[in-house]
A and B are shown apart, each in its own frame.
Chain A
Amino acid sequence: MISTKILSLVTFIYFAAFVFYLFRMTLGRDSWGRLATYTAFTGLLAQTIALIWRWKVSYDLGIGHAPLSNFYESLVFFSWTIVFLYLIMERQLKNRSLGVFILPVSFLLMAFASISPDISSRIDPLIPALQSNWLTSHVLTCFMGYAAFTVAFGLGIMYFLKIAAAGKKGKMIAGFIHLLPDVDVADELMYQSAALGFVFLTLGIMTGSVWAHYAWGSYWSWDPKETWSLITWLIYALMLHTRHVRGWRGKRMALLSIIGFACVLFTYLGVNYLAGLHSYLKT
């Protein structure tokens, strides 16, 4: 299938973009940065085309559903939302240093989707449980949330790197660290990303509840994925509260954004190893 081939190519494009962002950071020349942005943008464009193509093919096959219906498609879409969100942020911030931390996540997701033998890239018709108008809005909102949390995670890693390297000497490290945004800026961005993710995750849980109400007869069943999405929601709620009410900043926020992201990953991948109602994501 052409779309699958394009998507495997996108894996390499994102890897290249990551390498270019890294060159920008270590070699210090901004032309690498521009190249990295163009490469990431090309990858996003190709990925968008491939997703739309997949959508079209599913209609040609008479199946007709958005490319958000199985594990393969969710991995591809997750990586798409991350790059999409990142490029918007890069444009607004006019700072390319975050790319080194974000692009590898997108690359790894795509690589996992393309290489893992257990993940089928076929376009299959929807089983009855997935035949719902809520599928698209639920998956869309959840993954926008995940993507925003990924950005917050990247900023958290960056934050720790910046304070760890603060005392270190060496031209390359100094140059790298110098290009990173100030800790205050990173802290503010981390908060904003987490807040954006929180709003989207809330919407994701709400749309999921409405869907569950129609499909499973109950808006909440304590299915492991539901429970873990609630755990993730509570962790980020904690993060927002400790910041606003107790004035936590910097290191603590960075730590929470990393813990939160671990919960996101477990909500997304980990629960597949627990029994539950979301089982169609296993294949």
Chain B
Amino acid sequence: MINNKSRVWSFFSSVRLAIALLVIIVLVAIVGTIVPQRNAADLVASQLPSGLFSFLQTIQVFDLYHSVLFFLLLGLLFVNLIVCSINRFPHAWRQFRFKFSPENPDIFRGISEDAVISTEQNEKVVAGIAATAIKSRFRGYLNQRTAEGLYLYGDKGRFSYFGVYAVHLSILVLIVGVVIGSLFGIEGQVNIGEGQIANKIDLRDKDQALLLPFAVRCDRFTIEFYENGAPKTYRSDLTFLKNDQVAAQGQVLVNHPLSFEGLRFYQSSYGLTSDGKASLSLFKNGKKSQDISVGLGETFVLPGKEGKVQVLRVEENLMNMGQAVKLSVASARGETVFWVFRHIDKIREMNPGIIEQIPMFNPGLFHPYVFVVSDVQEKYYTGLQVSKDPGLPVVAAAAFLMFVGLMLVFFSSHRQVWLRVDVQAEGTRISIAGRSNKDAVGLQRDMKNIIAQIKRKLESSQ
């Protein structure tokens, strides 16, 4: 039992596992950039044998970054990081807490001549100057008198031992933030025509809509262009309604989302949609009998009172065949439902026999009338992305922690200096030695500065 436990533990504490995981994650990520993901996968669906496609779909090749495999890899990395850190952190903690002795005669063995200063000043003055010099460049300071002389010690940058752990902790926090976001976050999309109100959004990952506790009205959508034809601004003027009362108003632009009750609204697309209003012309026995403006859901009576017409739908682009209006004529013959395309002549030209095949596309289905759409009024709709991510503060904290950690790892080091002041026959001698856990150059610079400062002070005190 104990043996098993330690085997599992040592498996997860190995750096080899971490390296292997990083390599596998890299490979999976590369595959994900080559194989079309999510919606783009529909494009390859038709090119592959359906069996192969559904097999690939089952193993989530088309949604790799949200696949079980990927979460498994992240989970393993998560455990690996924790175990590695638990294994190694006590060592860093000991180094951080270690009380260095000011007395350390060994370290002065083999120091260069530059690191030894001799002066005629008495020990007390020299000790004072040396202590000031250390304190001016180092945070920690200790001293100790021994038979061999006075030892002074300074150090700084102890926190550098924690840098690696801060970075690793930040990865853990990041993963937690991502998981919170994917579990409790909302990602959706809504198109709202100018003047229209929406109170639900289409969720991205699921095939369902989410009812909002408020409503959003698009008052206006504006596009501006530069002189060269490139887009300059996409802007939606939105009004948020709560219980039919205006609760907030604002503009959404690209790069400038708007927040309401925890949901953020982003400008993501736009387009044209029918206004629900159309102009129709009625021909009876080949002769024009009436022009009429209609709106969605409205009804009107045919000029010869043969029946009542209801406008069922007004589309600005039906099945890529352009503007169309769906009508239902209620008469003694029963109910006749058909589509009237604005460009029916062109459609018939390109698809000969279409009316014979699909009677519903015949604008003259209700004899002796033929309907013609002369216009469908269009208006802009704004495409808004709606999102909520409760993991966001966690992710931001992770980013901050990672930054601090990287600074500690790469730009800080634990630097220590020892000074020995001993009385010689002809005066006082100062010896300086140092040690650093990673930045030897920085330590050299610190030591040079201390030596220079001591020499300067000694000269001026004479």
Contact = CB atoms under 8 A, between A and B. Distances in A.
B403 A241 contact: no
B15 interface: yes
Nearest to A215: B255
Contacts of B18: 241
Contacts, number: 97
B65 A214 contact: no
B163 to A, nearest CB: 11
Contact of B410 (A195, A218, A219): A195
Contact of B26 (A128, A211, A231, A274): A231
Contact of A238 (B19, B233, B257, B266): B19
Contact of A125 (B187, B232, B256): B232
B226 interface: yes
Nearest to A237: B22
Given A215-B254, A227-B29, A227-B32, A128 B266 contact: no
Nearest to B233: A128
A125 B18 CA distance: 46
B232 A128 contact: yes
B31 to A, nearest CB: 10
Interface in A210-257: 211, 213-220, 222, 224, 227-228, 230-231, 234-235, 237-238, 241-242, 245-246
A18 B387 CA distance: 51
A125 B228 contact: yes
Nearest to B65: A222
B457 interface: no
Contacts of B19: 238, 241-242, 246
Interface string A83-111: 00000000000000000000000000000
A230 B29 contact: yes
Nearest to B223: A128
A217 B399 contact: no
Interface string B379-412: 0000001110100100100010011001000100
A271 interface: yes
A163 interface: no
Contact of B406 (A202, A211, A222, A246): A202
Interface string B100-111: 000000000000
Contacts of B256: 214
A125 B230 contact: yes
A129 B399 contact: no
A224 B187 CA distance: 20
Contact of A217 (B34, B266, B395): B266
B221 to A, nearest CB: 13
Which residue of A131, A209, A230, A275 has the most chain B CB atoms within 10 A of its CB atom?
Answer: A131
Contacts of B253: 128
Contact of A228 (B33, B395, B410): B33
A214 B254 CA distance: 8
A132 B267 CA distance: 14
Interface string B180-207: 0000000100000000000000000000
A231 B232 contact: no
B40 interface: yes
B32 A199 contact: no
A218 B268 CA distance: 12
A213 B187 CA distance: 13
Contact of B255 (A129, A199, A224, A275): A129
Interface string B213-226: 00000000000001
B147 interface: no
A217 B403 contact: no
A131 to B, nearest CB: 6
B234 interface: yes
Nearest to A220: B178
Interface in A95-139: 124-125, 127-129, 131-132
A179 interface: no
B399 to A, nearest CB: 5
Interface residues of A, number: 41
Contact of B29 (A203, A211, A231, A238): A231
Contacts of A246: 15, 19
Q: Interface of chain A, helix or strand or loop or mixed?
A: helix
Interface in B341-381: none
A206 interface: yes
Contact of B266 (A216, A224, A230): A216
Given A129-B254, A218-B187, A219-B392, A274 B33 contact: yes
B264 A217 contact: yes
A196 B407 CA distance: 10
B403 A202 contact: yes
A198 B406 CA distance: 9
A120 to B, nearest CB: 11
Given A128-B234, A219-B395, A206 B403 contact: yes
A132 B264 CA distance: 18
B142 interface: no
A224 B15 contact: no
A201 B402 CA distance: 12
A235 B233 CA distance: 39
B15 A245 contact: yes
A199 B406 contact: yes
Given A128-B233, A202-B406, A275-B40, A209 B399 contact: yes
A222 B62 CA distance: 13
A128 B387 contact: no
B257 A217 contact: yes
A190 to B, nearest CB: 15
Interface string A185-207: 00000000001101100110010
Nearest to B30: A231
A123 to B, nearest CB: 11
28 contacts: A124-B230, A125-B232, A127-B230, A128-B233, A128-B253, A128-B254, A128-B267, A131-B254, A203-B403, A206-B399, A211-B255, A213-B392, A214-B257, A215-B266, A216-B268, A216-B385, A217-B266, A218-B389, A220-B178, A222-B65, A227-B29, A227-B33, A227-B65, A234-B22, A234-B26, A235-B26, A271-B33, A274-B34
Interface of B: 15, 18-19, 22-23, 25-26, 29-30, 32-34, 37, 40, 65, 178, 187, 226, 228, 230-234, 253-257, 264, 266-268, 385-387, 389, 392, 395, 399, 402-403, 406, 410
Given A209-B399, A219-B392, A274-B34, 11 more contacts: A125-B226, A128-B231, A128-B254, A196-B410, A215-B266, A218-B187, A231-B29, A234-B22, A238-B26, A242-B19, A245-B15
9 shortest interchain CB distances as A-B pairs: A128-B254, A217-B266, A217-B385, A132-B255, A224-B33, A245-B15, A222-B65, A217-B387, A125-B226
